[in-house]
């Protein structure tokens, strides 16, 4: 092991999951799926207002794609609506959308951690690529049947141009980004830098959406071993129903 690796491993000792993610750059999860029905999503997340329309299965959700997101509406009830994946980057850091919140200590991100801007991002699996070459995709889910869960996310309005050069969309957008954490024992052998914050229970959904910031961020921790497993490899979409 080279000196830089020894220094990094030594520095990581005693750090929180948030600090380890910030130090490593939080390169993670830029591809996930959501293939369950709108009714299943409404039931699990106690959605009262569904504004997603006729939502099809989404076996491969990439950055800048529209995807369902759940937030607390002005009437205090939960609503589901489509948002575009990726925040605008902080000043002087290019133009690529930020799909994963890398440094929660930054003033740029802290303001979006208020309950008004927290959201749940429904998913049935997420993809991580191997750190080593050749890069191979591995899809993680709660089990082979792909039960629904949620990423801990934040959202914001933003006016500007998104989409492709061929088909740009200039308007006010609703954008979301996902919180990362250190990888657990299931993900680390594939991708050793980070994994998304995965929420699986109604109590966790409520804690993330409405709890004080300090309580909500307690959810930014690696999952216990065995909560997720590899359910597919070598594919760019996970179309399992």
pLDDT, averaged per 10 consecutive residues of the chain (241 residues), comes to 35 42 51 97 98 95 96 97 94 87 87 96 97 94 98 97 88 96 95 95 98 96 96 94 69
* Residue 21 within any structural domain of the chain: no
Predicted pLDDT of residue 163: 84
In a domain, 104, yes or no: yes
| Res 27: pLDDT | 53
- The DSSP code sequence of the chain is --HHHHHHHHHHTT--HHHHHHHHT------EEE-S-HHHHHHHTTEEEE-S-SPPPEEEE-TT-EEEEEEE-TTSSEEEEEEEE-BPPPTTS-SS-B-B---TTSHHHHGGGSGGGEEEEEESEEEEE-SSSSP-EEEEESSTT---EEEEEEEEEEEEEEE-SSSEEEEEEEEEEE-EE---TTTTTT-SS-EE-EE-SHHHHHHHHHS-HHHHGGG-SPPPTTSSEEEEES-S-----
pLDDT value, residue 46: 98
The CATH number assigned to the domain holding 97 equals: 3.90.1680.10
Tell me whether residue 1 is in a domain. Answer: no
- CA 149/CA 147 separation, integer angstroms: 7
If one counts the domains in the chain, the total is 1
Dihedral of the alpha carbons of 64, 38, 155, 201, in degrees to the nearest 10 = -120
Residue 14, in any domain of the structure: no
CA atoms of 148 and 39, how far apart (whole Å): 12
- Predicted confidence at residue 28, as pLDDT, reads 62
> How many residues in the chain?
241
Q: Is residue 140 one of the residues assigned to a domain?
A: yes
Quick check: is 97 in a domain?
yes
The pLDDT value given to residue 4: 33
Contact 177, 204 (CB under 8 A): no
Q: Is residue 5 part of a domain?
A: no
Is 23 among the domain residues? no
Q: What's the domain range around 70?
A: 35-233
pLDDT of residue 185: 96
- 184 CB-near residues (< 8 Å, 6+ apart): 195, 222, 223, 224, 225, 227, 228
């Amino acid at each position: 092991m080279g000196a830089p690796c020894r220094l990094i491993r030594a520095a990581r000792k005693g750090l929180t999951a948030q600090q380890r993610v910030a130090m490593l750059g939080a390169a993670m999860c830029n591809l996930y799926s959501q293939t369950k029905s709108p009714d299943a999503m409404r039931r699990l997340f106690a959605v009262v207002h569904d504004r997603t329309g006729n939502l099809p299965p989404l076996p491969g959700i990439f950055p800048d794609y529209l995807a369902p997101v759940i937030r607390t509406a002005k009437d205090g009830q939960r609503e589901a609506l489509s948002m575009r994946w990726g925040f605008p980057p902080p000043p002087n850091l290019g133009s690529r959308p930020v799909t994963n919140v890398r440094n929660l200590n930054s003033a740029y991100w802290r303001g979006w951690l208020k309950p008004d801007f927290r959201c749940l991002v429904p998913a049935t699996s997420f993809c991580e690529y191997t750190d080593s070459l050749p890069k191979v995709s591995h899809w993680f889910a709660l089990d082979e049947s792909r039960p629904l869960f949620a990423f801990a996310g934040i959202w914001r309005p933003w006016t500007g141009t998104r989409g492709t050069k061929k088909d740009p969309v200039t308007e006010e957008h609703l954008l979301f980004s996902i919180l990362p954490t250190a990888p657990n024992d299931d993900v680390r052998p594939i991708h050793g830098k980070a994994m998304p914050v995965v929420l699986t229970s109604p109590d966790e959904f409520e804690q993330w959406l409405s709890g004080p910031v300090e309580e909500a961020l307690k959810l930014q921790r690696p999952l216990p071993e065995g909560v997720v497993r590899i359910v597919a490899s070598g594919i760019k979409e996970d179309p399992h129903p």
